[in-house]
Structure 1
Amino acid sequence: MDALDLFVNVEEPSESGIYWKRKTDSSEILYQNEDKCHTVKPNRITSALSGLQSLGWSETLKKSSWRAAAVVLGLLCLLLLIGLITLASLYNKDSSKWEMEMVQLQTSYKNLTKEKDQLQTSYNNLTKEKDQLQTSYNNLTKEQDQLQTSYRNLTEEQDQLQKRFEDTTNERNDLKRRDALFSQGWVSFRNHFYYISSGKKSWQQSRNDCLQKGADLVIINSHEEQEFTRTFKQLIWIGLTDMEREGKWKWVDGTPLTTSYWSSHEPNGVPGRDEDCAEIKNYDLEKSWNDESCHLERFWICEKILS
C-alpha cells in the first residue's frame, strides 16, 4: 500500500523476543527478526489480526484500496486522454492533408473539366470544318469530273478538227502539187502521176531524171497500168532490170518481178551484148515488153505517188 507504514506491537512471548516492522512496499508486509525468524503459531496470528482489527486496520485497508483504484483509474484516464489527443492530432493532421488533397483534386477536376470543354469545342469546330471541307471536296470532285468530261469531249473534237485540218491541208497540198505537176506536163492515173519525157536518154540517165523530179521510173504492177503505159505509143524505158544478177528481174524499188508482160520469146538477150533493161516496144500488143541494152536511148516514164 502506498505511503503507509504500519507497526504491529505484540506482547513478547516467553521465547526470544520478536518485533514486527513494516517494510515500505506496495504489496506486502515483511516480517523480520534480527536474530531468527520463527514460524508464528496460528493462535498468535489470530491474536495479531485481532489486534489489527482493533486498531482500525480494515478501514485503513479499504481506504487504501480505493486510493489505489483511483490512482489506477486516473492513470488509465490519463492514458486514454493522451491517446485521444494523439488521435485527434493525427486526425487533424490527416484531415488537413486530406482537405488539401481534396482542394487540389477539386482544382484539378475543374481544370480538367475546363480543358475537356475546350477540347470538345475544338473538336466540334474541327468536325464542322471537316464537314465543310468534305462538302467542298465533293463539289470540287464533281466539278473536276465535269471538267474532265468536257476536256475529253474537247480533245476528241480537237482531234477530229486536227484530222480534218490535216486532211484538208493534204488535199490542198495535193491540189497544189497536182496543179504544179499538171503545169509541168504530168498526167494523173488512179492517184498516181506520170511524166512522159519529150527526149531520149539511156536507162540510167532516164532514171536519174526521174529521181531529180522526186519520182522514179514507172513500176507496172497491174493490168490497168500496163494498158495505160501502152497508150503513149513510144519506145519507153520502164523501171525493170536484171543488172544485179542475170535473169533475176527486179523493179527499181527492189521488189521482184511477179506479173510480166514480155513479148513472145522475150527476154532472150543477144550474144555478145548485155540486155539488162526492160522497155515497152510492141505497144500495140498487151504483151509489149522487151529486154534491151541499157546504153541505148529511149523515151522514159516517171511515176510519182502523192502521199
Structure 2
Amino acid sequence: MSEHPLYAVVNYHQKHISGKTSSETTDDDDATYSNIHSPAPGKSAQENGDRVRGGHCVIYTKVSLPNQDGVKPTAPTSPDDQSARTAAEERSHWRVLVQPTVLLLLLSALLLIVIFTLSAFYALSKISYTKRLYALEKKNSEARQQTIHLQTELLEMNNTLVQSQSALRNSSEEKTLLLHELTHTQMNFTQLLRNCTAISRERTDIQTKLDSLNIEARRKCAFDWEYFNKKCYYISTDVKSWAGSRDACVTMGGHLAIIESEGEQTYIKSRMQRWQQYWIGLHYLSGWHWIDNTRPESGQFQSHNRWECMLIAKSSWTTEKCYSKWQYICESKAID
C-alpha cells in the first residue's frame, strides 16, 4: 500500500434528456454520474478537495441506479465494481429500512410498556380508591350509628334526670306517706297477731273436739272400720268375687254397702283412689236389688244390664261379671 491515504470525493448527478417520453429514454439518457478524484501525494485533503471542485484530475464513471419509473439498471462496466456497489447499496437500503423499523418497534414497545404501566397504576389506584371509599363509608355509617346511639342515651339520661328531679321534689311527701303507711301496717300486724292467737286457740279447741269425736267413733265401730252418719264402713285391701265379698262382710258382722243418699255416696268416693273400683251390695235378679232386697231409687245410676253385679268407682257406677275379683266395701250400723 502507498504511504499516503487515498481521498475520494464522489459527486452524484443525474442526467435527463428533455423532450423524451419514458418509453423513448435510453440508458444513456437517464444515468447517474460520479466524479472521483485521486489526490496527489503530499497535498492536504482540503487542497485536493478544492482541486476536485476546480475540475482537476477528474475521472468520470457511469453508475446506473434504479429510477422511480421501474427501469431496470444498466449493466455494470466492471463485475467487481458492480458487486461492491450492489453490496453497498443493499447495506444502505437495509439500513434505511431497518433503522426506522427498529426505532418504530422500540417506540411501540416503549409505548405499550407505558400504556400497561399506566393501566396497572390506574387499576391499582382505582382499587385503592374504592377501598378507601368503602372504608370511609363504613366509618361514616358507624359514626352515624354511634351518633344516634349517643343521642338516644342522652335523651334517656335527660328523661332520667327529669324523673329524678320530680322524684326528689316528691320525696318528702312520699316519706310522710310511707311513715303513715308504716304506722298503719304495724297496727294491722298487731291485730293479725291477736287474730292468729285467737285462731290458734279455736284450732286447739276444734282438734280437741275432733279427737273426742274420733274416740267416740272408734267406740261405735269395730277396729279398722270408719264412722260416718251413724254407720260404720270397712274398705277392704284384698280382692274377692261379688259372692266372696258378700260372705266376708257377713263374717265381719256387716253386709256389702247399701248407698241410700248422695252424702253417703260422696263420703264413700272420698275414701277411694281415682283408679280403684269396689263391690257394693247391688246385683241384678229379675231387676236390680240391694242386698237387703230393696230396690234402688229411680235415676240413682244408669246401667245397660250387661253384667249382673255392680261396682262403684270414683266417677261412676259400672256393672261387671260377678265372678271377677275386686276390692269391696262393707257396711254396718254403729253402736249407740
Structure of larger gyration radius: 1
Q: TM-score range by the shorter chain?
A: 0.3 to 0.5
Which is bigger in relative contact order (C-alpha 8 A, separation at least 6)? 1
When normalised by structure 1's length, the TM-score is 0.36
When normalised by structure 2's length, the TM-score is 0.33
Q: Which one has the bigger strand percentage?
A: 2
